[in-house]
Amino acid sequence: MNGARSLLATMGANGVTTVFANPGTSEMHFVAALDDVADVRAVLCLFEGVATGAADGYARVTGRAAATLLHLGPGLANGWANLHNARRARVPLLNVIGDHATYHARYDAPLQSDIAAVAGTLDGPVFNPRRPDDVATEAARAIAGAYGPPARVATLILPADVSWGEVPTPPAEWPVAMPTRAPAPDDDLLELAATRLRTTRSAVFLGGTATTQALMGLAQRIGAASGAKVMVETFPTAMDRGAGVFQPERLIYLSEFAVAQLADLETLVLIGTNEPVGFFAYPDVPSRLVGEDCHVVALAPPGTDAEAALAALVGLLDAPVVAPARGDAPEAPSGALTAQSLAAAIAATMPDGAVLSDESNTSGIHLYGATAFAAPHRLLTLTGGSIGFGLPVAVGAAIGSGSRVIALESDGSMMYTMQALWTMAREGLDVTVVALSNRRYAILDFERQRVGATGAGDASERLLALDQPTLDLCGVARALGVPATMVTTADELVSALRRSYATDGPSFIEVPLPAAF
C-alpha cells in the first residue's frame, strides 16, 4: 500500500467520499488508487475553479467536507477564487494538492512554487506530510481541521514520492478525526443580550450556520418575545427559504441603504457571523454599517454553538412558539422578460426541496422577495464576492443533495467557470441553469457611479460591454454537452423551467434581459 491509497482510505474512513479532481502528473498515484478504494467517488472537472466551487457547494448542502484534487501551485491558484468563497462560507473542505517529490523541490523545476504560502492565505491549516507513513495521520488532522469548528478550508500538500512511496505497516484502523464540540455562549453575554433585546431597539443578526429553518425559527421566537428585529446577512452560505420558513429581513448589499437600515439600532446581537461591514468602501460612506452608538454583542461568533445561543435566549426571554408569516408564491408570469418576471417565474415554478445557487447579480434583484413564499428550498449565495461561483457550486450541490438545483447565472460571471457545464453533462446532474444575459458587466455600470468614477468615454465603455462579439451562451452550453434553449418571453421561460424540472440531467436556459440599472 502506498501513501496515496492510505490517504484515500483515511478519507473514506472519515466520510470524505467525494473528490472533485483536476489531476496532473504528480497526482497519478492518487488517481490510480481510486481504482482500489471503492467508497470514494471522483468527479472530473476541466478547470480547478470548478473543482473547488463544487466542493464548496457539496459542503453547503450536506454539512460534510468533500475533497479537491489539484495539481501543484497552478492548480491551487486556479482553484483559489472559489476556495476563497468557501472560506467565507465557513464550510469544511479538504483541499488536496499534489506536489513535486520532496527531493525534487530543491531543483526549482518549472512547476516549482511556494504552495504552502498560497494555501496559507486561505486562512485554514496546511499539512504537508513528508513520509508515506505520515499521510493517514496528517490527513485525519486535516479533516479535523476542516471541520473545526469553525469549519475551514484545510489543505493537504501531497508530494509525489510521499504518494507513491510504500507505507510499511498500514494501521489496523484508519485514524478518524474526532469531532470537536463548538463552544457554548458565555453566560454574561447571554444575559446582556437578553436584557438589551428586551430594553433597547435591537436586532438579532443571523449568518453562518444559523440560517437553517430550525435556528431561524428560534430567532423568530426571540424577535416576537423581545420586539427585536431578526435580520440575516446579505450573503448567507445556505439559507432555508420558502413557504413555512420564517424569513428574516436581509441586510441590503448597498452600504448606503444598509446604513439606513441599521441606523436606529441600539443593539445588534450576532449569531453565527461577525459584524456586517460594507462590501466595498465608497467615498463618503462608512465601512462600518451600524451606528457609532450601537452596542454590538458578539454572542455566537463563527465556530461557536449558534443553536445553544438561540435556545438559551429563547429560555431567558421565555419566548413562545410563533407561526411563520403566510403568503403566496407569485403567479406564473406572462409577457416580457424583465427582472420582475424572471423572479416570478423562478418563484412560481420552483420544485419542493430545490437548491438555488444564486449568481444572478443585478438581474436577480427581485428574486429574494419573490421567493419568500415559493416552495421550500435552500439559497446558496456569493459569500466571498469571488465571481464564477454559481455553476461550480451547483455541481457540488447537485451531487451532495440529489435534489434539483437551479443555478441562476449572469453572462459575465458565467465566463469564469463555464467548464462546470461539462461536468454537469458528464455526471448527469439535475441542474437547471438560468443564464441571464444583459451583455454587460452591469454591476460595474452601477458600481462606478457609486465610487464616483463617472466618466464614460469609449475606452472605459469598452471595458464594461460584453458585446462585440455577442456571447452565444446557448452555444457554449451545447458545446460543453448541455442541451440549451433561449427564451424570449416570460411564458416561454415558465415552460422551459417546468420542462427542465421534469427532465433528468442538466438543462440550460438563456434569458435575455435588459440591464437592471
Piece in contact with its own copies (CB under 8 A), picked from 240-248, 261-269, 279-287, 338-346 = 279-287
Q: How far apart are CA 331 and CA 351, in angstroms?
A: 14
- Shortest distance (Å) from residue 242 CB to its own copies: 25
Under rule CB under 8 A, residue 235 binds its own copies? yes
Q: How far apart are CA 47 and CA 179, in angstroms?
A: 32
Under rule CB under 8 A, residue 444 binds its own copies? yes
CA distances from 463 to 306, 417, 439, 459, 516 (A): 44, 20, 12, 7, 18
Strand order in the sheet with 295-300: 249-250, 229-232, 202-206, 267-271, 295-300
> Which residue lies nearer to its own copies by CB, 372 or 415?
415
Residue 460: what are its φ and ψ, rounded to 5°?
-70, -40
> Which residue lies nearer to its own copies by CB, 176 or 451?
451
Residue from 1, 15, 17, 46 binding its own copies (CB under 8 A): 46
- Shortest distance (Å) from residue 43 CB to its own copies: 9
Q: How far apart are CA 132 and CA 135, in angstroms?
A: 5
Under rule CB under 8 A, residue 152 binds its own copies? no
Residue from 18, 47, 261, 342 binding its own copies (CB under 8 A): 47
- Shortest distance (Å) from residue 417 CB to its own copies: 9
Under rule CB under 8 A, residue 365 binds its own copies? no
Assigned C-alpha cell, 305? 454553538
Piece in contact with its own copies (CB under 8 A), picked from 21-29, 203-211, 264-272, 394-402 = 21-29
Under rule CB under 8 A, residue 78 binds its own copies? yes
- Shortest distance (Å) from residue 361 CB to its own copies: 12
Say which residues have a Cβ less than 8 Å from residue 444's Cβ, sequence separation at least 6.
464
Residue from 54, 194, 332, 473 binding its own copies (CB under 8 A): 473
Residue from 263, 402, 479, 503 binding its own copies (CB under 8 A): 479
Assess contact for 59 and 51: CB atoms under 8 A: no
- Shortest distance (Å) from residue 74 CB to its own copies: 4
How many other β-carbons are positioned within 10 Å of the β-carbon of residue 114? 9
> Which residue lies nearer to its own copies by CB, 47 or 127?
47
How many other β-carbons are positioned within 10 Å of the β-carbon of residue 451? 13
Assess contact for 102 and 161: CB atoms under 8 A: yes
Under rule CB under 8 A, residue 250 binds its own copies? no
> Which residue lies nearer to its own copies by CB, 130 or 201?
130
> Which residue lies nearer to its own copies by CB, 71 or 377?
71
> Which residue lies nearer to its own copies by CB, 318 or 467?
467
Piece in contact with its own copies (CB under 8 A), picked from 103-111, 149-157, 332-340, 402-410 = 103-111
* Max CA distance (Å), the chain: 69
Residue from 13, 16, 18, 23 binding its own copies (CB under 8 A): 23
Assess contact for 412 and 387: CB atoms under 8 A: yes
Number of amino acids touching its own copies (CB under 8 A): 99
Among residue numbers 322 through 351, which ones bind its own copies (CB under 8 A)? none
- Shortest distance (Å) from residue 322 CB to its own copies: 32
> Which residue lies nearer to its own copies by CB, 263 or 479?
479
- Shortest distance (Å) from residue 253 CB to its own copies: 11
Q: Tell me if residue 313 falls in helix, strand or coil.
A: helix
- Can you say whether the dihedral through the CA atoms of 85, 88, 90, 92 is positive or negative? positive
How many other β-carbons are positioned within 10 Å of the β-carbon of residue 183? 13
> Which residue lies nearer to its own copies by CB, 334 or 460?
460
How many other β-carbons are positioned within 10 Å of the β-carbon of residue 121? 11
Strand partners, 71: 98
Assigned C-alpha cell, 309? 445561543
Q: How far apart are CA 79 and CA 90, in angstroms?
A: 16
Under rule CB under 8 A, residue 84 binds its own copies? yes
Say which residues have a Cβ less than 8 Å from residue 194's Cβ, sequence separation at least 6.
226, 313, 316, 317
Q: Residue holding cell 416552495?
A: 375
Piece in contact with its own copies (CB under 8 A), picked from 9-17, 239-247, 308-316, 414-422 = 414-422
- Shortest distance (Å) from residue 187 CB to its own copies: 27
- Shortest distance (Å) from residue 369 CB to its own copies: 22
- Per-residue x/- mask for its own copies, residues 286 to 315, rule CB under 8 A? -xx---------------------------
Among residue numbers 494 through 513, which ones bind its own copies (CB under 8 A)? none
- Shortest distance (Å) from residue 199 CB to its own copies: 28
Among residue numbers 154 through 183, which ones bind its own copies (CB under 8 A)? 160-161, 164
- Shortest distance (Å) from residue 110 CB to its own copies: 4
Q: How far apart are CA 508 and CA 514, in angstroms?
A: 19
- Per-residue x/- mask for its own copies, residues 453 to 472, rule CB under 8 A? xxxxxxxx-xxx-x-xxxxx
Among residue numbers 393 through 412, which ones bind its own copies (CB under 8 A)? 412
- Shortest distance (Å) from residue 453 CB to its own copies: 4
Assess contact for 490 and 336: CB atoms under 8 A: yes
Selection from 301, 62, 57 nearest residue 185 by Cα:
301
Q: Cis (ω within 30 of 0) for the bond into 149?
A: yes
Assigned C-alpha cell, 504? 433528468
Residue from 1, 101, 224, 515 binding its own copies (CB under 8 A): 101
Q: Cα angle at 28 between 24 and 33, to 5 degrees?
A: 140
Strand partners, 154: 94
